[in-house]
Every structure is written in structure tokens, then in C-alpha cells.
Amino acid sequence: MALTGALLLTSAPVASADQVRDAQWPLTVYNAEKVWKISQGAGVTVAVVDSGVDSSQPDLTGQVLPGKDFTGAGDPHKDTDGHGTAMASIIGGHGHGVNDSAGVMGLAPKAKILPVKVSYKNTATWAAGIRYAVDQGASVINLSFGDSGGYPGSKGAEAIAYAQEHDVVLVSATGNDSGTVTYPAALPGVVAVSGVDKDLSFWSDSNTGKVTVAAPGVELAQVDPNTKSGYSVANGTSGASAYVSAIAALLRSKYPDLTAGQIINRLVKSASFLNNKGKTAPDKELGYGIARPGSALTMNIPKGSKEGPLAKASPSTSTESGAASAGNDNPSQAKEKKDSSSGGILLIAGIAAAVVVIGGIVFAVIRSRRNRGNGGPGDGGGIPPHGTGYPPQPPTGYQPYPNTPPNPGYPTPPGQSPPHPNPYAQQPPHQGQ
């Protein structure tokens, strides 16, 4: 079992831990030092449903809970693939050395990591893993895998519905083959995450369609137990998903009284199309915009309904994904009132009735076959067999980490923000977050 290829397409080793910290560009873009004065994710458990988490890595010591292995190997802290450890470091790494100044610093460095070792191709294992994570008290679950068979009516869909019923935020990668959003990200109520690069532009390999938000997904520094240095750089919506899971942990720590739906409401309504002119929400590439932890933590956003803004449906009767619903929390509420006479109708243009299970299953089968035929997951471009680890070659034009981090920052909003209640029609009040 391995969880690397489909959602972590390229990687290269990094020479030293201090170079890793220097090159963690998402921390610069997110102004993490300022964010951490508000929240560091303390008191929150994030389940990493993945290939396991190597708890012996110096940037993760003390962060990793006992967890459970659903693959039969017996040890959730053994990660021969390295993918789960990488995701855990992006979420909850704390660095090491003098003042923890070296190695990977996660965006939620005080959140605890619950390792749930699964086989992504075996739906029963990750479905059982999700239920286990819920029962262990995880309030955020990161699912950095796709094309997993978690279509409506499957055990995976039922497990995700179980988590939602128990007030858990579920975050999933959209996929990396420039196709459409894969399952489980395509399931109702799941936060589906695409990737952006250092310029905050859409990463062209990200899958598109029913995207919720975007996050950094290119040249991400991460812990890698399979390299000599212990680190690597990689591209993928896996890492983007991990960053959004970290933001959810920051929010759950800061706002413990909010439901999972209300946390997602803050996440969605604080997102922005920074550096992406001409986008309107929901956008097929960036969803409701680039997720921003500082703004999500500080903006004046009403709690909204307990269910939150994402459409939800029975896992056995719908194929709709994490697009905003037509309820009061919908960022495009005014338009939806014209398009629908019922607040329960999903925000999916052109759909006049609910889609039945058979349609979802046929879509999943067609999608799977298409991927096998074009180098997507399941054939070459998919997740590699157990033991192959990261692809050995770096991306074309790859350069080693620089000694100083890039600093794309956020531009100053042009002119005065219009007096409009829709947060997507405004530039954010706090830049650099």
C-alpha cells in the first residue's frame, strides 16, 4: 500500500533542515508568525488517514498519538511510503534545534496528529479508519488521496457521512491529473482542495470542478523519512489538503463552540481570489478562493447555520460534492434566490433534480477507466505499488531550495472595497494572511 503517486507527483531531497525552513514559502505567504499569536491548534486532534506517520522524526516527536493500522501490518508509526509522515509534518510539525528554528514547521504546530494507516485502494480500510478517527475524538480528518472508490453508496461514503454526523471537518485533495475532482473529495460536505503555486496562481495539474478552496500545493517542504536528509520538496494537492486541514485545526482551537459546518463557513467566507483577477465564486479551479488562516481567524463572520455552507446529502442517494448549498450561508445567496425557490436545492447550475446513485456509480467507473488510460491514478500516474516511495526524478526545471524564501505576499486591494455583504466581492481587510 502506498499513497504517494496520484496526489504527490514530484519530489526531491533537501540538503539540510535549515534550508527546509527557509524554503517553507507558505508560512511566509500566510504570515504564520502573526497567525500563531492567535491560534496554534492547541487541543485539536487531526487524523491523518494515510500511509502511517513516523513518530520518530525530530520535527514530529511528541505530536503523534498511538493511532491504529488498518492494513494488517500492525504499526501506524511505521511509514515505508513516507506520504503520511509528510502530510503530518505540514499540519503539525514543530521543527527542532535551537528555538525549533530548523526543519518543518506545520501551520498548526500544537495540534496532535492521529495516525490512521490505511490502503487507499481498499475502501474498507480507509472507511474503517475514518470511523476509528471519529471515535477517537478527531475533529479534523485529512484525506490526501483520490480515485479511491469512495463513490456514493460505498462504505467510504457512509463513513464520511458518519464523521459529518459527529461534527468532524473532512478535508480531501482534489487530484493531480488535470481531470475532474475525484472521490472522496467529490462527496457531499467534504472540503475539496486544489493547489496554487508561489505566485498564488492555480496549479495546472490540479483537478477541477467542484472545488471548495485552494491552498499551496507546489514546491512544498516536508518531512520525508525515505531520504538521507529526512526532507523533500514535492508538488501535489495532497499538501494543499494538509494546509487546509491545518487551518481547520487553527479554527477549531480558536472557536471550540462552532460546529464543523460553521468552521467550514469561516474557511469558505474568508477565502479570496488574491492574484487571480476575473474569478467569481464558485470557480471550477479555485472554488471560493485561496484559504487564508489569518483572515479566517479574525474576520467578522456570523456563525451561520450549524450545517454550514456546503451541500450535504445521504451517501446512498447523491453524487453532489462540497459545493455551497442554497441555504442562508451560501456566498452567492442573492443569485441563488433567483435560481431556486427552495433553500435546500444545491448550488449546481443546470441541475433540476437530485442525481440518483446509479449516475454517481457510472461516473466513478468512467472516471476510473479514463484515468487508467491516460496515466492517471491506477496506471503510471497513479499511486505506486508498495515500497516504491516517492518518484526518484525531480520535476522539469527543478531547482534546489534557495537560501532565502520567496515572498510573493499579497497585493494591496485596489481602491475602496464596495459596500456589499458578499465577502467574495471584497478584498480582505488583512493582507498577507
Name the CA dihedral angle for 244, 113, 25, 174, rounded to a multiple of 10 degrees: -40
Catalytic status, residue 50: yes
Distance separating alpha carbons of residues 264 and 193, to the nearest angstrom: 12
Distance separating alpha carbons of residues 118 and 1, to the nearest angstrom: 8
Catalytic status, residue 283: no
Q: Say if residues 64 and 113 touch (Cβ distance below 8 Å).
A: yes
33-62 burial, b for 16+ CB within 10 Å, e for fewer? eebbeebbbeebbbbbbbbbbbbebbbbee
Marked catalytic residue, from 11, 39, 50, 147: 50
Place of cell 527542532: 96
Q: Say if residues 131 and 164 touch (Cβ distance below 8 Å).
A: no
User: Which cell numbers in the block locate residue 341?
Assistant: 425557490
Strand partners, 279: none
Strand partners, 117: 50, 69
Distance separating alpha carbons of residues 34 and 13, to the nearest angstrom: 29
350: number of Cβ within 10 Å: 4
Distance separating alpha carbons of residues 204 and 276, to the nearest angstrom: 14
| Ramachandran bin of 106, using left for φ above 0, alpha for ψ from -120 to 50, beta for the remaining angles | beta
Distance separating alpha carbons of residues 88 and 142, to the nearest angstrom: 9
Marked catalytic residue, from 77, 81, 83, 177: 83
**DSSP three-state, residue 303:** coil
Distance separating alpha carbons of residues 59 and 166, to the nearest angstrom: 31
227, amino acid identity: T
Catalytic status, residue 368: no
Helix count (H) and strand count (E) of the chain? Answer: 11, 12
For residue 148, what are the CA distances in angstroms to 33, 311, 362?
36, 21, 15
Mode of pairing for the β-strands spanning 220-223 and 231-235: antiparallel
**What backbone phi and psi angles, to 5 degrees, belong to 45?**
-105, 125
96, amino acid identity: H
Q: Say if residues 57 and 81 touch (Cβ distance below 8 Å).
A: no
User: Which cell numbers in the block locate residue 62?
Assistant: 511528541
Which 8-state DSSP code applies to residue 6? G
Marked catalytic residue, from 89, 206, 238, 241: 238
Residues carrying an active site annotation: 50, 83, 238
